[in-house]
Chains A and B, each alone.
Chain A
Amino acid sequence: MSIRGKIWKFGNDVDTDVIIPARYLNTSEPDELARHCMEDADPEFIRKIRPGDIILAGKNFGCGSSREHAPIAIKGARIGLVIAESFARIFYRNAFNIGLPILESAPAAAEIQEGDEVEVDIETGAIVDRTTRKHYQAKAIAPFMQELLAAGGLVPYVRRLQRQASER
């Protein structure tokens, strides 16, 4: 799966309250959550982005609460991918479970600039900055996680396993 989009850059320790403030957690509808994605960091964010754009951040992206509403808001906003130096553990797990692609690369997080056009191969982790023509290689995603992403998340993955088991 290949993704090409414009970079929106954030700093270190972007927390889940910034990704989706708790005042909007009285619903779990993706479109409603998407409307407030990153609102407390940039109130204009949701109006500026295009489908397939990429969030780029520093270390510990998604720290804080276990709210799955955070990756759902990002996916609901049609962000194609999040690249960060590192991710907080619950966010990392949640992103794969709901089928939001995420990649870790410290050099990409440090060097790629806001507004750059970037192309990414999710399977191989190859990141190409089309603006600067620089190449980066993200940390490999474990095969099990790749399958989750390909299936679209944990629920479709579990259902596919069940279907395969019943067909045997």
Chain B
Amino acid sequence: MPMTISEKILAAHSDRPEVTPGDLVEARLDFAFANDITAPMSIRVFRDAGGERVFDPQRVAMIPDHFVPNKDINSAIQAKELRDFARDQQLPHYFEVGRMGIEHVLLPEQGLVLPGDVIIGADSHTCTYGALGAFATGVGSTDLGAALVTGRTWFKVPESLRFVFSGELGPWVGGKDLILYTIGRIGVDGARYKAMEFTGPVIESLPMSDRFTMCNMAIEAGAKVGIIAPDAVTEAYVRGRAKRPFRFYRSDPEAVYEAVHEWDISGLEPQVACPHLPENVRGVSELREVPIDQAVIGSCTNGRIEDLRIAASLLKGRRIAPHVRCIVIPGTPEVCRQALAEGLYEIFMNADAVVSTPTCGPCLGGYMGILAAGERAVSTTNRNFVGRMGHVQSEVYLASPAVAAASALVGRIAHPADIAAR
């Protein structure tokens, strides 16, 4: 029977010849992890469920990335619970401040999550790793805590939606614009419970960083996973990083999809999601008059070196608009080192931007850039819900690093081409 990539991975991990949407399967996990917000509860569940040792220390990570370096005393207590657990369980993949990065940038970079894997993380953006051709999904702390004991978890096999992108990507348009466009078309529950499979010549031409950005935001359409068939680009990324063997799966040509969306994206301009839902998407040129107070460039969505390079190409030799804060957050120490080596820190600082240590920080209104009532941010993050980045009367516009950098320079939402032309 023909299967999609998602079905093939789930079948292989539950020792079945085949699975079909709706089947309940108990799958072997290749990797499981939690962060400083979700781990304390998972650790409690692990102990309550009778756990003594995690199923495989090599396949577990604890990553304090949300409110770390500790933003307050309670955050310090949570980070300590995670640290103590990692020490007690002798987990090799615990990442202390200095080695810690934003989980979904860090784990692929370190070769800990790989093509063909089944992965759960106690964080909704775990779907990021679909970019590698893995079946990866976010769960709550209880599911994660139980999985730390057993190394398995149950899934309902999702229906798949196929997205075929063709045409020519315009200048300043990339993975962030494609996924915002997609969410704008299908809505924040357009893929609820389903697998979103991104295909077509445009996807095949995308570098890994853009693929991660797209799969990262599959959850913003309600999806269980976002997934891209691995190819030579994936191979080149994974080679030299992978800490264990991996396997490429591809959908069969006759695989069954609940729906197929075929879109020619030629002429698509940079996309922006307006408050307060990621589906409120418009072309950047419709929003040129919207003034901003802050620009954030970073997060699990857009905190990779390629994102910082795009921002730097616009900020180089220019200055952030007066009264605007531009906060740049590299995703991992490796991204920091690379940015330093390429002179990007100097470009950011000369433009009057600030560069933070890796952290989720302002994306979820934690710290490092909270908004006051009436303030507005352009952000490369993933959610623009009410109060997401601070006060309930603040606003977040989601966009690419190019749009965020261009907007920071003029103090209102801007098309990157307007800046580049100056």
Contact = CB atoms under 8 A, between A and B. Distances in A.
Contact of B49 (A88, A94, A144, A158): A158
A23 B143 CA distance: 23
Contacts of B66: 25
B183 to A, nearest CB: 12
A119 interface: no
Contact of B189 (A17, A25, A59, A154): A59
B104 interface: no
Nearest to B66: A25
B124 interface: yes
Given A66-B124, A97-B140, A17 B366 contact: no
20 contacts: A13-B277, A18-B387, A23-B366, A25-B66, A26-B74, A26-B75, A60-B222, A64-B124, A64-B219, A65-B364, A65-B383, A66-B38, A66-B123, A67-B37, A68-B141, A153-B142, A154-B143, A155-B49, A155-B142, A162-B50
A59 to B, nearest CB: 6
B142 A66 contact: no
A60 B188 contact: yes
A93 B192 contact: no
A63 B191 CA distance: 12
A103 interface: no
Contacts of B49: 155, 158-159
B386 A40 contact: yes
A160 B71 CA distance: 39
Given A17-B386, A89-B224, A25 B140 contact: no
B71 to A, nearest CB: 8
A64 B122 contact: no
A90 B139 contact: yes
Nearest to A156: B48
B392 A67 contact: no
A159 B192 contact: no
Interface of A: 13, 15, 17-18, 21-23, 25-28, 40-41, 59-60, 63-69, 86, 88-90, 93-94, 97-98, 144, 153-155, 158-159, 162
A97 B142 contact: yes
Interface in B27-72: 37-38, 40-41, 44-45, 48-50, 66-67, 71-72
Contacts of A15: 383, 385-386
Contacts of B146: 154-155, 158
**Chain B interface mostly:** loop
Contacts of B41: 28, 68-69
Interface string B117-140: 000001110100000000000111
Contacts of B387: 17-18, 21, 40
Contacts of B364: 17, 22, 25, 65
A159 B47 CA distance: 11
Interface of B: 24, 37-38, 40-41, 44-45, 48-50, 66-67, 71-72, 74-75, 78, 122-124, 126, 138-143, 145-146, 188-189, 192-193, 219, 222, 224, 277, 364-366, 383, 385-388, 392
Given A155-B49, A162-B50, A13 B189 contact: yes
A26 B387 CA distance: 17
Contacts of A13: 188-189, 277
B277 A88 contact: no
B124 to A, nearest CB: 4
Given A89-B222, A90-B139, A97-B140, A27 B193 contact: no
A26 B143 contact: no
Contacts of A28: 40-41, 44, 78, 141
The 10 closest A-B pairs by CB, nearest first: A26-B74, A94-B140, A68-B140, A97-B142, A60-B189, A22-B364, A66-B124, A66-B138, A40-B387, A17-B385
A25 B364 CA distance: 10
Contact of A22 (B44, B188, B366): B366
A40 B364 CA distance: 14
Given A89-B224, A155-B49, A98 B142 contact: yes
B18 to A, nearest CB: 22
Nearest to A97: B142
A33 to B, nearest CB: 11
B1 to A, nearest CB: 25
Contact of A23 (B219, B222, B365, B386): B365
A30 to B, nearest CB: 10
